[in-house]
Amino acid sequence: MMTDVVESSGSRAGQGRPGGGDPTGAAAAPTGTGDSAAAQRIDEIRQRIDEIDRTILALWRERATLSQEVGATRMASGGTRLVLSREREILERFRAELGADGTQLALLLLRAGRGPL
């Protein structure tokens, strides 16, 4: 499900004033600022964010594949589909590092590797 992007003014992006909102035109810039030095720094930071995102996605896929392999190997040897103590260990590790968001992230990772319960 997509959510609407809300500008700092509180109006939905592209709604409100003709032209999108900010009368200075700064919000129309891809960086959200008309200051060229700030815009350049934002572009540099965003490039690094994009690199990190690509790494996260690659690691996500690798983790899911490895987890699926563990499950298939376990089941082929007569084991159980899930090892709940292992899942609890992962959930706790992520919760300890990231709080409630960590728990949600861990649940998504686990589901990516084993499928829905």
Q: How far is CA 99 from the centre of its chain?
A: 15
Res. 116 pLDDT band, cuts 50 70 90: confident
Which CATH number does 35-114 carry?
1.20.59.10
- Going by pLDDT thresholds of 50, 70 and 90, the confidence category of residue 41 is very high
In the predicted structure, residue 11 carries a pLDDT above the cut 90: no
Map out the domains of the chain as residue ranges: 35-114
Residue 79 and residue 31: Cα distance in Å, rounded? 52
| Residue whose tokens read 């996500």 | 60
**End-to-end Cα, the chain, rounded Å:** 22
d(CA 41, CA 45): 6
Q: Taking the CA of residue 8 as centre, how many other CA atoms within 13 Å lie in the half-sphere pointing to its CB? A: 6
Predicted TM-score (pTM) of this structure: 0.71
